[in-house]
């Protein structure tokens, strides 16, 4: 075997043995910062939901007017507020928005302020078992303050 062929075979063998390791490289997670109400357990459950979905979550607690002012500063409509607000890549995420909808938002990149799940619907992430979920909508809040339905979740079968 000549020198060039031997080098080629050795390099190819080394490359083939390294290939399985590439499938195990860590996925770069998306950073999201959450501002939550002081002592709110459902906020903590929602952040766990995001962490389990691969988000890198940082959080801080605020109370009363400081929490509301943060929401107002981000453009969250008052009638869509919930107990926590996330900030991710220029969008707000208000309330118990599923991680899959946040990923879809980041993939589609609509010209909008963010997503909201007004109130605290039972069975949404962080609000009890999905098997007992009540129907709710994830709303896309546009820059003019209006909104459209981004995703709809039906009630769990009885």
pLDDT over 70, % of the chain: 82
The yes/no answer on whether domain 26-153 falls in CATH 1.20.58 is no
For 115-135, the pLDDT digits (tens) are: 999 989 999 999 999 999 999
pLDDT of residue 11: 44
d(CA 140, CA 148): 5
User: Minimal CA–CA distance to 70: which of 51, 54, 57, 86?
Assistant: 86
Q: Which pTM value belongs to this model? A: 0.81
pLDDT of residue 27: 52
The answer to whether 137 and 154 have CB atoms below 8 angstroms apart is no
Q: Please state the rounded mean pLDDT for residues 40-61.
A: 94
**Does position 22 have pLDDT exceeding 50, yes or no?**
no
Q: How many helical (H) and strand (E) elements, i.e. helices and strands, does the chain have?
A: 4, 7
**Does position 26 have pLDDT exceeding 80, yes or no?**
no
For 69-97, the pLDDT digits (tens) are: 999 999 999 999 999 999 999 999 999 99
- Dihedral class, residue 143 (left if φ above 0, else alpha if ψ from -120 to 50, else beta): alpha
């Amino acid at each position: 075997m000549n020198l060039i062929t031997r080098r080629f075979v050795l390099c190819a063998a080394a490359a083939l043995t390294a290939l399985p390791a590439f499938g195990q490289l860590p996925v770069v997670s998306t950073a999201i910062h959450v501002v939550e109400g002081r002592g709110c357990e459902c906020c903590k459950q929602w952040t766990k939901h995001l962490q389990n979905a691969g988000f890198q979550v940082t959080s801080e607690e605020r109370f009363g007017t400081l929490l509301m002012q943060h929401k107002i500063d981000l453009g969250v409509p008052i009638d869509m507020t919930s107990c926590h607000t996330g900030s991710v890549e220029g969008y707000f995420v208000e309330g118990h928005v599923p991680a899959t909808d946040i990923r879809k938002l980041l993939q589609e990149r609509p010209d909008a302020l963010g997503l909201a799940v007004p109130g605290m619907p039972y069975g949404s992430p962080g609000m009890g078992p999905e098997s007992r979920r009540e129907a709710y909508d994830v709303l896309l809040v546009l820059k003019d303050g209006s909104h459209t339905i981004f995703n709809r979740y039906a009630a769990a079968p009885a």
